[in-house]
C-alpha cells in the first residue's frame, strides 16, 4: 500500500499574534530555526514519504506562501479550502483526493504547526501507525507520553494492556478534554493517559466510512466534491459546497464516537505550540531565564520571553513577561496569561483594528 501524508495548514494561530498574522499564520513562520514550522513538518516526513505523496490543505490566501516554502511539492497537492471548516472537513477533503488518486493507499494526517523533538523516534511512531492502519479498518492515533501535568491539552486514555503484538499498540478507552490541574496530575501518575497529538493514520476509505456514520452531512458534501475531482466543475462545486460543510473537529465529530481506535505511544518530544507560553517552554534561556530574539538591550530582568522581528527592544526591571514586537504591533502580557492573547485579537476585531491582525 502506498503512503500519503496530509499536512493540515489551515490554522489561524491567533494565540501567536502579533507574530502570527491573518496573512501569515504561525505555520508559515520561522518560530524556531531557519525553516518555518510547515517546512519542518514536511522535512520530517520526507524520509518516510516522497514529496509527490505529500498534500497540504490550506486557505487560498496562503497558497503563494506555501508553494514558495515547499517548492518540491507538486502544485496539485496543495488542496485549497474555500473557507476553513475545522479538521473533520479538512481530513475528509484530503481523503477523497487521495482515494481518487490511489485506491490502495494509507493516509497520515498531521498538523502543520507542531514542535517535534527526536525525529527518529517520531518517524518510528509514524511507522507503527502506518503498520496498524494497513492491518485493517482501524483509526490509528499517536498519543504522546506526557512529561508534565499539562492542562492545556486533551488526553487519550488507553486500555491497560497492549495487544500482544509487534509493534506494540493499544486500544483507546476514551478521549478526555483538557483536564483541571488535579485531574492532570492524576493522569500523569496513572500512566495510561497520553496527550492527544492530532496525528492520525488510516486508510482514506476507513475515515470516510466513519464520517458517513457520524457526520452524514459532511459525507454528503464530500461526495459532491469528490464526484467533480478532475473535471471542470470542480472549483465551482468546491466553492459552493465547502463553506456549508459542518465546522467540526475530527476529535469531536468522529474520534470520540468511534470504537476500534488504536493508539501508538509516541515517546518523542512534542508541543502543540499553542501560545507564546509554549515557545517559552521550548526556547533555552540565560541564567536569569531571559529568552531573547532580535536586537535587545536590557538589565535586571528575569524570566521574560522577548521576541523582536527587527528594530530594538529595550527592557529593564521586569519579570515573567512576554514582550513581542512584530511589524506594526507591540504585545505585552504576563507569561501565565499568554493563552489570553486571543482575547486581544478579539478586541482588535471589535474595535475596527483588523488591519493589525
Residues at the site binding a second copy, with contacts judged by CB under 8 A: 18, 295, 297-299, 308, 310-318, 321, 323, 325, 327-334, 337, 340-341, 343-344, 347-348, 351, 353, 356
Which residue, 188 or 331, is less far from a second copy as judged by CB? 331
Nearest to 52, CA basis, from 38, 80, 76, 73: 73
Least distance (Å) between residue 66 CB and a second copy: 27
Least distance (Å) between residue 339 CB and a second copy: 11
- Indicate the SS3 state at residue 192: coil
DSSP for 65-98 reads HHHHH-TTS-GGGEEEESS---HHHHHHHHHHHH
Residue 33 contacts residue 81 (beta carbons within 8 Å): no
Q: To the nearest 10°, report the CA torsion of 292, 297, 299, 304.
A: -20
Which residue, 85 or 335, is less far from a second copy as judged by CB? 335
Least distance (Å) between residue 251 CB and a second copy: 29
Least distance (Å) between residue 36 CB and a second copy: 24
Nearest to 142, CA basis, from 156, 152, 131: 156
Which residue, 48 or 318, is less far from a second copy as judged by CB? 318
Least distance (Å) between residue 321 CB and a second copy: 7
Which residue, 203 or 325, is less far from a second copy as judged by CB? 325
Least distance (Å) between residue 295 CB and a second copy: 6
What are 356's three cell numbers?
493589525
Distance in angstroms (rounded) separating the CA atoms of residues 231 and 23: 30
- Indicate the SS3 state at residue 330: strand
Which residue, 192 or 318, is less far from a second copy as judged by CB? 318
Which residue, 71 or 317, is less far from a second copy as judged by CB? 317
- Indicate the SS3 state at residue 19: coil
Amino acid at each position: 500500500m502506498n503512503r500519503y501524508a496530509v499536512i493540515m495548514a489551515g490554522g489561524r494561530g491567533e494565540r501567536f499574534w502579533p507574530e502570527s498574522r491573518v496573512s501569515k499564520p504561525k505555520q508559515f513562520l520561522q518560530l524556531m530555526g531557519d525553516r518555518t514550522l510547515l517546512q519542518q513538518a514536511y522535512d520530517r516526513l520526507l524520509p518516510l514519504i516522497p514529496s509527490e505523496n505529500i498534500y497540504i490543505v490550506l486557505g487560498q490566501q496562503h497558497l503563494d506562501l506555501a508553494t514558495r516554502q515547499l517548492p518540491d511539492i507538486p502544485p496539485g497537492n496543495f488542496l485549497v479550502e474555500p473557507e476553513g471548516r475545522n479538521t473533520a472537513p479538512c481530513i475528509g477533503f484530503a481523503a477523497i483526493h487521495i482515494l481518487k488518486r490511489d485506491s490502495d493507499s494509507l493516509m497520515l494526517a498531521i498538523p502543520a504547526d507542531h514542535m517535534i523533538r527526536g525525529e527518529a523516534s517520531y518517524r518510528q511512531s509514524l511507522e507503527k501507525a502506518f503498520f496498524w492502519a494497513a492491518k485493517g479498518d482501524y483509526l490509528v492515533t499517536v498519543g504522546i507520553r506526557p512529561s508534565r501535568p499539562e492542562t492545556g491539552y486533551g488526553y487519550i486514555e488507553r486500555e491497560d494492556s497492549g495487544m500482544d503484538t509487534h509493534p506494540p499498540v493499544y486500544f483507546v478507552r476514551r478521549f478526555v478534554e483538557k483536564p483541571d490541574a488535579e485531574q492532570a496530575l492524576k493522569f500523569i501518575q496513572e500512566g495510561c493517559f497520553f496527550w492527544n497529538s492530532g496525528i492520525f493514520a488510516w486508510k482514506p476509505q476507513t475515515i470516510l466510512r466513519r464520517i458517513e456514520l457520524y457526520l452524514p452531512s459532511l459525507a454528503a458534501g464530500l461526495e459532491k466534491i469528490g464526484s467533480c475531482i478532475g473535471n471542470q466543475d470542480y472549483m465551482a462545486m468546491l466553492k459552493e459546497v465547502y463553506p456549508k460543510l459542518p465546522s467540526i473537529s475530527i476529535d469531536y465529530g468522529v474520534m470520540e464516537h468511534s470504537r476500534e481506535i488504536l493508539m501508538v505511544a509516541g515517546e518523542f518530544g512534542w508541543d502543540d505550540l499553542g501560545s507564546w507560553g509554549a515557545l517559552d517552554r521550548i526556547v533555552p534561556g540565560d541564567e536569569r531565564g531571559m529568552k531573547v530574539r532580535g536586537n535587545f538591550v536590557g538589565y535586571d530582568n528575569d524570566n521574560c520571553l522577548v521576541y523582536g522581528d527587527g528594530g530594538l527592544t529595550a527592557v529593564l526591571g521586569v519579570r515573567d513577561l512576554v514582550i513581542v514586537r512584530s511589524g506594526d504591533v507591540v504585545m505585552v502580557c504576563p507569561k501565565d496569561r499568554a493563552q489570553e492573547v486571543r482575547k486581544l485579537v478579539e478586541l482588535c476585531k471589535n474595535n475596527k483594528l483588523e488591519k493589525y491582525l
